[in-house]
Amino acid sequence: MRTTLMPSCSSALDPQEIKRAATHLSWHPDGNRKLAVAYSCLDFQRAPVGMSSDSYIWDLENPNKPELALKPSSPLVTLEFNPKDSHVLLGGCYNGQIACWDTRKGSLVAELSTIESSHRDPVYGTIWLQSKTGTECFSASTDGQVMWWDIRKMSEPTEVVILDITKKEQLENALGAISLEFESTLPTKFMVGTEQGIVISCNRKAKTSAEKIVCTFPGHHGPIYALQRNPFYPKNFLTVGDWTARIWSEDSRESSIMWTKYHMAYLTDAAWSPVRPAVFFTTRMDGTLDIWDFMFEQCDPTLSLKVCDEALFCLRVQDNGCLIACGSQLGTTTLLEVSPGLSTLQRNEKNVASSMFERETRREKILEARHREMRLKEKAATKSRGRPGGGGGRGSSGGRRG
């Protein structure tokens, strides 16, 4: 069954004269009427003079004017509604600070982390934790640190993890975080996508700081801009970096189990459908939104839609799977309505998707074992050639699957 998107519902333009990129989107937790949009310029030290730091909450029934301006001291890279209290928002600033708003109190920041205890680089990931108080959250930055916070006491983080995969806890060796993933059904686990193209899987409750870095997945040729567990099968996760999107299994650490073709344009963001386990969405630097439905087609997108002429930087799917918001380089947020075929669970889809992920994981593990065997044979042959009187036979060598 082929499926399509409906025409865009509406678009909200950055009201500032000097346009900024829409860098992050967050749907209001109590429905699909409101959207929070973070605006900033991510070009290092190239922000135009006089550029506004404001971000906005939009009421989608009135896209001509923002409902509320949020006024941080430094532009926001990320912005998230609190799922337990929709009046409260969490922002990650370009200067590394964490800011909180209570919309009942207006546009000004309600809580702000101190400069000296904050990140040293832009905050690319902020996520609310599923805590009893609804006040706990965590953040990640290209400074190589993940920090936990309680917004009732923002003077310092409650905990810090340094993303040093050598497990020596050296900040100078840490990998910079670009994306952050937390699944509430796995409350001790979190994952970080790094500037270096590696995914780091972590366990917050490990006994020592070094043990909090559990394992790594060597993912992409460039920064990992998107990282999300499948909402139906959280052992499988989606990444975007360089020119591909990849699906991984926690059981296969050497390579992804599925991937898209290499695109001509760089990919910038991705998200699973919250209602269909085999559907995900990706955005590109050429302004295209791609919809992938692996139930029907794995080589090409089910649908590609040219949303705008400039780069798309971010996307967010509404919880019922019926609306997609895309943010562009010039600060335009476009809303697209998804057709019922793409936002309705298909017959037997859960079983088919589960079988597909398991089959591809098994295939990848067999290949990994074969490559390990080849490397051991090669090593043994090299040692043998190096010994006096050793055999001069040639060892096997196998390239990795692309």
Residue 259 maps to which CATH number? 2.130.10.10
Measured CA to CA, the distance from residue 104 to residue 97 in angstroms comes to: 22
In a domain, 402, yes or no: no
The widest CA-to-CA distance across the chain, in whole angstroms, is 83
In a domain, 27, yes or no: yes
pLDDT at residue 18, as a whole number: 87
Measured CA to CA, the distance from residue 190 to residue 183 in angstroms comes to: 7
pLDDT at residue 5, as a whole number: 56
Measured CA to CA, the distance from residue 129 to residue 152 in angstroms comes to: 14
pLDDT at residue 400, as a whole number: 34
Q: For 216, phi and psi rounded to 5 degrees?
A: -130, 155
Taking a C-beta distance cutoff of 8 angstroms, is the pair 302, 295 a contact? Answer: no
Provide the 10 A C-beta neighbour count for residue 55: 30
In a domain, 386, yes or no: no
- Exposure string of 75-93, with b = 16+ CB inside 10 Å and e = fewer, is bbbbbbbbeeeeebbbbbb
In a domain, 114, yes or no: yes
Closest CA to 10 of 40, 35, 44: 35
Measured CA to CA, the distance from residue 111 to residue 20 in angstroms comes to: 24
Angle among Cα 25, 227, 166 to the nearest 5 degrees reads 130
Taking a C-beta distance cutoff of 8 angstroms, is the pair 344, 236 a contact? Answer: no
Provide the 10 A C-beta neighbour count for residue 291: 22
pLDDT in tens, the chain (402 residues): 334 455 456 788 888 888 999 999 999 998 778 999 999 998 766 778 889 999 999 998 888 999 999 999 999 999 999 999 999 999 999 999 999 999 999 999 999 999 999 999 999 999 999 889 999 999 999 999 999 999 999 999 999 999 999 999 899 999 999 999 999 888 899 999 999 999 999 999 998 888 999 999 997 999 999 999 999 999 999 999 989 999 999 998 888 999 998 888 999 999 999 999 999 999 999 999 999 998 888 889 999 999 999 999 999 999 999 999 999 999 999 999 998 888 889 888 999 999 999 999 999 988 888 888 888 888 888 877 766 554 443 333 333 333
Question: How many domains is the chain built from?
Answer: 1
Query: What is the dihedral sign for C-alpha 170, 172, 175, 178?
Result: positive
- Helix (H) or strand (E) holding 258, with range, is strand 258-259
In a domain, 102, yes or no: yes
For residue 351, the enclosing domain spans: 7-381
Measured CA to CA, the distance from residue 317 to residue 301 in angstroms comes to: 17
In a domain, 202, yes or no: yes
Taking a C-beta distance cutoff of 8 angstroms, is the pair 276, 233 a contact? Answer: no
pLDDT at residue 31, as a whole number: 77
Write down the pTM of the prediction.
0.89
Measured CA to CA, the distance from residue 297 to residue 121 in angstroms comes to: 40
In a domain, 394, yes or no: no
pLDDT at residue 387, as a whole number: 63
The pair of three-digit structure tokens given for residue 306, joined into one six-digit string: 């040219």
pLDDT at residue 390, as a whole number: 47
In a domain, 161, yes or no: yes
